[in-house]
Amino acid sequence: MPRVLPRLVTLAGLLALVACAERTDGSSACPSLCTDPTLAVRDTVFDAVTLDTAFGGFPLPGALQQTVDPYLPLVRRGDTADVRLVFRFDSLPQSVSTTDTTPVTRVRSAALLVTVDSTAIGARPADGVTIDLFDVDTVTAADSIPATMAPLFRPDRRIGGGVITAAQTRDLVVDTLRIDDAVVLDRIRRGARLRIGVQARGSAPVAIRLLDVGSGAAGFVPRLRYDASPNDTVRERLLFTRSLTPTASAGSYRSQVLVVRGTAPLGGGALEVGGLPAWRSYLAFAIPRRFFDSVTVVRATLDLVQRPRRDVAAARDTVGVRPRLVTAGREITDVRQQVALLNAVLEGARFPVVPLVPADSGLRNFDVGPLLNAWATRADTLAPQALVLFSEGEGVLEAPFAFWSREAPQASLRPRLRVTYAPRRPTILP
Amino acid sequence: MSRRLRLLAGAALALPATLLAQGSVSSQGFGYPTGQLTTRALGTGGAMAEFDPAAPINPAATGNWGVMGAYAQYAPERRTTTVGGSRASTFLPRFPVFSFGIPIGERLAFGVSASTLLERNFVTQVTGLQPVRDDTVSVVTTNEVRGNMSDLRFSAAYTVRPWLKVGAAYHVIGGENRIRVQRVFNRRGTTVVDSTLSTVNENSDLGFDGGAWSVGLDVRPLPNLFVAASVRQGLSLESRVGSFVPSRADVPDRMGLAVRYDGLGGTRLAARWERTSWSQLQSLGSGGSRAFDTQEFGGGVELNGPSIQRIPTDLRIGYRQRTLPFGVNGVQPEERGLGGGVALPFARGRFIAEVAVERLSRTVPGLANVSESGWTTAVSFRLRP
């Protein structure tokens, strides 16, 4: 054994000498020993738009809106923009609590709790935003139409309110907007519904967003809070919005956006984006699979010619517009529904925003390279090759944009897809 | 539009596909020829390669196993490439030779070996400029290539007379090059990725499929003089990407001749010459890298050292020089190697551990500012139960 040991030590030493991690980076010898050719990049323009159209009426009613973007806009800007909200509490429990079936005889500390989305763009006066709450319940059947609902926001129907300070609007803060206790008690006793209209005002233009991410996330939805128990140990009641009408789609109207005053679309078949209520434009493409199979897209731009909107509010405001990927499946054939069902999570990468001014005109390039790469890797049967032009100020800013569609009188004005690509090499030989 | 797309697709397929980003003198083209040398051969300047039964070179040497045996080798290279004042140091692990031999009776022996014919492993990253539309952007190109071309040999040897062995072998030439090229576009003059431009990734798994025949002899014309010679005749060789065959060539022919003299007590002197027709691979590539025929000369001494359990160790030293098959800017590189080694017998010679170290230097005639040096340290185990 003693004679074997030195040999084993020698062998182990030799193995240690040669046992190193692989290191193959020879970059320092480049470019002399690395004659790599420049990538062969080519450029082409496609007239590949097969369908383009525009849809207005965004944001959608509450429940639908939650599936798209979880916010509710509240805007008051002079005589150009007025966006209000209605929260429906159509079913108020008449017992003190879930465990105490004693009828409610008093209500204390009634309030509407809302969460301000501080990440949203908008306008916030330095001295805060005053929120007025109104009783907007009505017996008319047309209880979701702005023309019917707006007159109900009047002083004799005011049931409460509060001030959201400037500091609060810069954070994700739950704000408590007090409601007259007697109003809530009255509705409970009568078994009536409570529909609360929300209107903002301030010393300067106001544009904020309230979070409404769905009934499953208690902290981020509008809710009614009150204390109905004489016993201080019983917790206050918290009610989520609930609508019982219209019967067919009651859930969609739990919270409701009322655009009382906004911007009118340009019309005439233009591709419209933004405004109040907001528009979105839909463009569908037909790029053959064999193109994707033979190239790697380096850059792609959707080239649109902007039409000026000089006669509208916010004509000189700068607002971002960006393309968004249509993720609705092939089974959704209703184009408007495809436009409505944008989903930031499914879309993945966020496309570059192009800042635009409504009064300007000319050629605009929207980078859509990742969009083409998404189409290249996605089976054609999953979703259409389509995108939606979307305003970053949707629901909050009234700046409207318009572009020439494929119906434009001159070919040079029509939408085009410009693709810069590298031909795919079937193999790489030394 | 569809006609335009068809034209685009056609243009894409017709483009020349070249990749010449190796970052070293020795691994241009399809890679570095390891020489298929065993540790014994490496320690003697390649001179013992034609005689060594573990080396997949001369099929007649299969008859030299004597008893059933197996051989495995690990031979990494530390390489430094110098271009002007800048140096790139790399470490390349290699397992160049595995072999197995089994005698059947007194005269017949069979062998199987797997060895590296061409080794191609490197990563380079180069920053350059790329025109895109009306602009020029910065592009960082990363090339990563892994793989090799290998030689799986089935050999048989027959002892015709005690002084004459002949052999023949069939070689299956295979292997794969996994090539990854990534181009990331940055805003010009910065390292910030340009989000409007998509990264271009190209992956290609290039396989090889070919064959060759070889024959050889090992003759003892005088009591202490041995002469060995072998010839390999290359058959067709294809590159493959799936079922697509982008190129065809022939496996390089090879011929070698070696002499050994054992008449100085425990000392063995040997010398070897080899010529390989690597230019036959020219059509396998894109034409971007020129392939040359190569010649190799080597000589070495093997002498008995101190004994272990009354079995002498072997001490080796040798020198060789050769040309390399793939050119740098169209010029054929040259390589010189000075090496030495030792063989340590264990278990009464049933298990032999061998070590060899070879100092390599490579130059490219006409490119004075380009040089390369390397240390190959080979460790192998020869088992003869």
State the best of B82, B196, B372 to mutate against chain A, taking most chain A CBs within 10 Å.
Answer: B196
CB contact under 8 Å between B246 and A48, yes or no, is no
Q: State the pLDDT at residue B1.
A: 40
- Nearest-CB residue to A298 (from B132, B181, B244): B132
What's the one-letter identity of residue B167?
A: G
CA–CA gap between residue A33 and residue A322 (Å, rounded): 44
Mean pLDDT of B232-237: 97
Q: Does B206 touch chain A (CB under 8 A)?
A: yes
- Of the CA atoms within 13 Å of residue A348, those in its CB half-sphere come to 10
Q: State the pLDDT at residue A387.
A: 92
- Rounded to a whole number of angstroms, the CA Rg of chain A reads 29
Question: Are A276 and A327 contacting, i.e. CB atoms less than 8 angstroms apart?
Answer: no
CA–CA gap between residue B1 and residue B4 (Å, rounded): 5
CB contact under 8 Å between B15 and A20, yes or no, is no
Give the 3-state secondary structure of residue A40. coil
The enclosing H or E element of A17 equals helix A4-18
**Per-residue pLDDT tens digits for B321-359:** 999 999 888 899 999 999 999 999 988 889 999 999 999
**Per-residue pLDDT tens digits for B202-215:** 888 999 999 999 99
Higher-pLDDT residue of A8 and B358 is B358
Q: State the pLDDT at residue A186.
A: 94
CB contact under 8 Å between A47 and B1, yes or no, is yes
CB contact under 8 Å between B4 and A44, yes or no, is yes
Q: Does B368 touch chain A (CB under 8 A)?
A: no
Q: Which residue of B has its CA nearest to A301?
A: B196
- Nearest-CB residue to B15 (from A28, A40, A288): A40
Question: Are B21 and B182 contacting, i.e. CB atoms less than 8 angstroms apart?
Answer: no
Indicate if the alpha-carbon torsion angle A96, A100, A105, A107 is positive or negative: negative
Q: Which residues of B touch A370 (CB under 8 A)?
A: 198
CA–CA gap between residue A169 and residue A129 (Å, rounded): 9
**Left (φ > 0), alpha (ψ -120 to 50) or beta: where does A294 sit?**
alpha
Q: Quickly count: other Cβ atoms within 10 Å of residue A101's Cβ.
A: 10
State the best of B124, B129, B135, B142 to mutate against chain A, taking most chain A CBs within 10 Å.
Answer: B124
CA–CA gap between residue A316 and residue B141 (Å, rounded): 43
Does the global pTM surpass 0.80? no
Q: Quickly count: other Cβ atoms within 10 Å of residue B204's Cβ.
A: 19
Q: Which residues of B touch A22 (CB under 8 A)?
A: 91-93, 121
Mean pLDDT of B181-196: 84
Question: Are B208 and B173 contacting, i.e. CB atoms less than 8 angstroms apart?
Answer: yes
Exposed e or buried b for every residue in B147-164, given b needs 16+ CB within 10 A? bbbbbbbebbbbbeeeee
Q: Which residues of B touch A47 (CB under 8 A)?
A: 1
Q: Which residue of A has its CA nearest to B194?
A: A299
- Enter the DSSP assignment of A368: -
Place of tokens 């691994």: B27
Distance, in angstroms, between B225 CA and closest chain A CA? 34
CB contact under 8 Å between A352 and B6, yes or no, is no
Q: How far is CA A157 from the centre of its chain?
A: 32
End-to-end CA distance of chain A: 54
State the best of A1, A4, A15, A24 to mutate against chain B, taking most chain B CBs within 10 Å.
Answer: A24
**Per-residue pLDDT tens digits for A290-299:** 888 888 899 9
CB contact under 8 Å between B28 and A37, yes or no, is no
Mean pLDDT of B49-62: 97
CA–CA gap between residue B267 and residue A235 (Å, rounded): 101
Question: Are B96 and B73 contacting, i.e. CB atoms less than 8 angstroms apart?
Answer: yes
Query: At the top level of CATH, which class does the domain B3-383 belong to?
Result: mainly beta
Instruction: Give which of A62, A341, A343 is closest to A212, Cα–Cα.
Output: A62
Does A59 sit behind a cis peptide bond, omega within 30 degrees of 0 on the bond before it? yes
**Per-residue pLDDT tens digits for B115-170:** 999 999 888 888 888 888 888 888 888 888 899 999 999 999 999 999 999 999 99
Q: Which two tokens stand for residue B2?
A: 């569809």
Q: Which residue of A has its CA nearest to B206?
A: A427
CB contact under 8 Å between B131 and A47, yes or no, is no
CA–CA gap between residue A138 and residue A148 (Å, rounded): 9
Q: State the pLDDT at residue A252.
A: 75
Q: Which two tokens stand for residue B134?
A: 């009306």
Give the pLDDT band (50/70/90) at residue A398.
confident
CB contact under 8 Å between B126 and A31, yes or no, is yes
Q: Does B89 touch chain A (CB under 8 A)?
A: yes
Strands A295-307 and A416-423: antiparallel
- Rounded to a whole number of angstroms, the CA Rg of chain B reads 23
CA–CA gap between residue B367 and residue B92 (Å, rounded): 24
Question: Are A343 and A69 contacting, i.e. CB atoms less than 8 angstroms apart?
Answer: no
Question: Are B228 and B58 contacting, i.e. CB atoms less than 8 angstroms apart?
Answer: yes
State the best of A27, A294, A350, A372 to mutate against chain B, taking most chain B CBs within 10 Å.
Answer: A27
Give the 3-state secondary structure of residue A374. helix
Q: Quickly count: other Cβ atoms within 10 Å of residue A388's Cβ.
A: 23
CB contact under 8 Å between A34 and B1, yes or no, is no
Higher-pLDDT residue of B189 and A421 is A421
**pLDDT higher than 70, residue A125:** no
Residue ranges per domain, chain B? 3-383
* Mean pLDDT, chain A, integer: 83
- Nearest-CB residue to B22 (from A33, A39, A352): A33
Q: How far is CA B253 from the centre of its chain?
A: 15
Place of tokens 């008319």: A140
Q: Does B377 touch chain A (CB under 8 A)?
A: yes
Q: State the pLDDT at residue A139.
A: 84
CB contact under 8 Å between A35 and B377, yes or no, is no
Q: Which residues contact B54 (CB under 8 A, 6 or more apart)?
A: B38, B40, B69, B71, B97, B99, B101, B113, B380, B382
**pLDDT higher than 50, residue A164:** yes
- Nearest-CB residue to B286 (from A294, A298, A430): A430
Q: Which two tokens stand for residue A172?
A: 């994700």
Q: Which residue of B has its CA nearest to A371?
A: B198
**pLDDT higher than 80, residue B35:** yes
**Per-residue pLDDT tens digits for B265-313:** 889 999 999 999 999 999 998 877 789 999 999 999 999 998 888 888 9
CB contact under 8 Å between B81 and A297, yes or no, is no
Q: Which residue of B has its CA nearest to A290?
A: B9
Instruction: Give which of A262, A200, A220, A211 is closest to A391, Cα–Cα.
Output: A262
Q: Which residue of A has its CA nearest to B380?
A: A15
CA–CA gap between residue B28 and residue B289 (Å, rounded): 7
Q: Which residues of B touch A368 (CB under 8 A)?
A: none
Question: Are B261 and B240 contacting, i.e. CB atoms less than 8 angstroms apart?
Answer: no
**Measured CA distances, B280 to A78, B243, B250 (Å):** 83, 23, 6
Question: Are A160 and A180 contacting, i.e. CB atoms less than 8 angstroms apart?
Answer: yes
- Residues making up chain A, counted from first to last: 430
**pLDDT higher than 90, residue B27:** no
Distance, in angstroms, between A217 CA and closest chain B CA? 34
**Per-residue pLDDT tens digits for A43-67:** 989 888 899 999 988 877 655 555 5
Q: Quickly count: other Cβ atoms within 10 Å of residue B14's Cβ.
A: 9
Q: Quickly count: other Cβ atoms within 10 Å of residue A188's Cβ.
A: 21
- Phi and psi of A66, rounded to 5°? -60, -30
Question: Are A327 and A343 contacting, i.e. CB atoms less than 8 angstroms apart?
Answer: yes
How open is the CA angle B39-B45-B46, to the nearest 5 degrees?
A: 65
Chain A contacts in chain B segment 29-88 (CB below 8 A):
29-30, 74, 76, 78, 81-84, 86-88
Mean pLDDT of A363-372: 90
Q: Which residue of A has its CA nearest to B128?
A: A38
* Mean pLDDT, chain B, integer: 89
Question: Are B292 and B325 contacting, i.e. CB atoms less than 8 angstroms apart?
Answer: yes
**pLDDT higher than 50, residue A158:** yes
Give the pLDDT band (50/70/90) at residue B22.
low
Question: Are B280 and B251 contacting, i.e. CB atoms less than 8 angstroms apart?
Answer: yes
Q: Which two tokens stand for residue B100?
A: 């197995």
Q: Does B13 touch chain A (CB under 8 A)?
A: yes
Q: Does B128 touch chain A (CB under 8 A)?
A: yes
CA–CA gap between residue A294 and residue B6 (Å, rounded): 10
Give the 3-state secondary structure of residue B127. strand
- Nearest-CB residue to A33 (from B81, B131, B201): B81
How many Cβ contacts (< 8 angstroms) between chains A and B? 230
Instruction: Give which of A155, A154, A149 is closest to A260, Cα–Cα.
Output: A149
Q: ipTM value of the model?
A: 0.70
CA–CA gap between residue A19 and residue B150 (Å, rounded): 23
Q: Which residues of A touch B83 (CB under 8 A)?
A: 28-29, 32-33
Give the 3-state secondary structure of residue A5. helix
